Amino acid sequence: MSQRIEYQTVAPAALRAVYGLEQYVRGTSLEHSLIELVKLRASYMNGCAYCVDMHTKDARVAGETEQRLYSIPIWREAPWFSPRERAALAWTESVTALHRDGVPDALYEEARAHFTEVELVELTMAVIAINSWNRLAVTFRADVGSYEPPAAASRAATRDERPAHLLPDAGAEAVHGA
């Protein structure tokens, strides 16, 4: 499939708005590894190949294991996720699929057992952010497979192999951050 619209080019102000939310999420107290799991789970649910590709690459660079990455879609059956991670993954599913049952009280109580009030708001904002990125990437058919983690993009930039809008210092237009 070819990209429909280069949304980062035709509507940079819209991209900056979503990127502002992403910057907030990156600055939260939540563990980076947890945020990557959340991004992957929502991206799988939303069928966002671009974001699944991006976040598996980012998670690998950050040291995540292949076993855990492959288990995101079946996390309930996989024993290697902590109770906190399980609560975050369940929360991600519920917030992503609000149309099903909303967020049940039992899930809220489980999440509160592992997250402070502030962390739960931060977690919810992380879910909202990735759902926004998923909707942009799926709707406009982002170029799947083109993403390189920042370290790899920096190496490629020295060889002038990356498009300018994907270089690390290109600002909000560089990488959607999803």
Give the CATH number of the domain where residue 106 resides.
1.20.1290.10
Q: What is the pLDDT along the chain (178 residues), one digit of tens a residue?
A: 787 888 788 888 999 999 999 999 999 999 999 999 999 999 999 999 999 999 999 999 989 999 999 999 999 999 999 999 999 999 999 999 999 989 999 999 999 999 999 999 999 999 999 999 999 999 998 777 778 888 754 444 444 443 334 334 444 434 455 5
In a domain, 2, yes or no: no
pTM, 2 dp: 0.81
- Domain ranges, residue 147: 10-173
Output the CA–CA distances (angstroms, integers) from residue 109 to 66, 104, 117, 120, 124, in the order listed: 31, 9, 11, 11, 15
Task: State the DSSP code for 44.
Answer: H
Task: State the DSSP code for 162.
Answer: S
In a domain, 23, yes or no: yes
Q: How far apart are alpha carbons 152 and 18 in whole angstroms?
A: 24
In a domain, 178, yes or no: no
In a domain, 3, yes or no: no
Domain count, the chain: 1
In a domain, 148, yes or no: yes
In a domain, 1, yes or no: no
pLDDT tens digits along 9-45: 888 899 999 999 999 999 999 999 999 999 999 999 9
In a domain, 109, yes or no: yes
Radius of gyration of the chain, Cα coordinates, nearest whole angstrom: 16
Q: How far apart are alpha carbons 41 and 69 in whole angstroms?
A: 10
Q: How far apart are alpha carbons 94 and 135 in whole angstroms?
A: 17
Output the CA–CA distances (angstroms, integers) from residue 18 to 55, 145, 164, in the order listed: 17, 22, 20
